[in-house]
Structure 1
């Protein structure tokens, strides 16, 4: 079943708000919506960022909006680099 962008936004809101706080929630959600569009352009079979890629992006952002912008762009260009960075964070190999 396909879900729309507004439903994705609603589903993402709690995690995004917990990570970025109420001040930056809307901006972060706007960026993720743009990322969905870019992702679909690069990967036409996917309507939005894959859940695992989204998780990696949010983890690597560390709650910083500027970092979210950079990491999101990198994920669309080559999500494997973001996966490696997220795995390093999970393993405690980076601060």
Structure 2
């Protein structure tokens, strides 16, 4: 069953609230809505949103910083493999 953008936004809100300052929560959620639209435009009609693992990578690398979220979201839509490698490197540091 397809999930609408309002439902995705609602589901993402607690995570974004935990990671970003309260002043940036709405903007971060707006950006993720735009990233979903860009993903859909780039990867076809069946791809309605950024895949969950790509979103996890993006949020990890953003580190709660709105400017980083913007840059990394754009990079993920252009080529998510680069973001995946950077996120994997970051995860390896914490082991």
| Same structural fold, with TM-score higher than 0.5 when normalized by the shorter chain | yes
Cα shift readout 1:57-89 (whole Å, capped 9, x = no counterpart): 000001100000000000000000000010011
Cα shift readout 1:30-75 (whole Å, capped 9, x = no counterpart): 0000000000001112100000000000000011000000000000
Aligned length in residues:
93
- For the residues of structure 2 that align with 1:59 and 1:16, how far apart are their CA atoms? 11
Q: Please, what is the CA RMSD of the aligned residues?
A: 0.9
Q: Per-residue deviation at 1:21? A: 2.4
- For the residues of structure 1 that align with 2:82 and 2:9, how far apart are their CA atoms? 25
TM-score by length of 1: 0.95
Aligned to 2:29: 29
- For the residues of structure 2 that align with 1:17 and 1:87, how far apart are their CA atoms? 24
Q: Per-residue deviation at 1:22? A: 1.5
- For the residues of structure 2 that align with 1:66 and 1:21, how far apart are their CA atoms? 12
Which SS does the other structure have where 1:22 is aligned?
coil
Aligned to 1:41: 41
Aligned to 2:17: 17
Which SS does the other structure have where 1:3 is aligned?
coil
Q: Which runs of 4+ in 1 moved over 3 A?
A: none
